[in-house]
């Protein structure tokens, strides 16, 4: 499934049709893995990436990148452990 959003969206914008469809598929447990070239393709905002990753973890969805593979999950786990919890 391709969740590409065509258009010029700022990095903090999660009100994108493809992104919303992907989030819906995650929350409905329709996905096992998400693969992207780099995490920045999800968002360039680190807090949004972490929120996205937490959602993936909550629904047992692996998050991989073409460059880092599963290592991106290790890095995000470390960040989540070190950063204060956001409400």
Q: Classify the phi-psi angles of 47: left when phi > 0, otherwise alpha if psi is within -120 to 50, otherwise beta.
A: alpha
Note whether 62 and 32 are within 8 A (CB).
Answer: yes
At 86, the pLDDT band (50, 70, 90 cuts) reads low
Cβ atoms of residues 87 and 58 within 8 Å: no
Terminal Cα distance for the chain, rounded: 31
Note the pLDDT of residue 85.
Answer: 60
Average pLDDT score over the chain? 86
* pTM of the predicted model over 0.95: no
User: Can you read off the two tokens belonging to residue 42?
Assistant: 């999800």
Closest among 58, 66, 77, 21 to 40, alpha carbons compared: 66
């Amino acid at each position: 499934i391709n969740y590409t959003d065509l258009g010029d969206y700022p990095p903090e914008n999660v009100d994108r049709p493809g992104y919303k469809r992907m989030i819906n598929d995650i929350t409905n447990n329709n996905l096992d893995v998400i693969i992207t070239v780099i995490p920045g393709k999800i968002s360039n905002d680190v807090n949004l990436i972490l929120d996205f990753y937490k959602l993936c973890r909550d629904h047992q969805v692996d998050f991989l990148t073409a460059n880092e593979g599963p290592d991106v999950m290790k890095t995000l786990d470390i960040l989540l452990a070190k950063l204060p919890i956001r409400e």
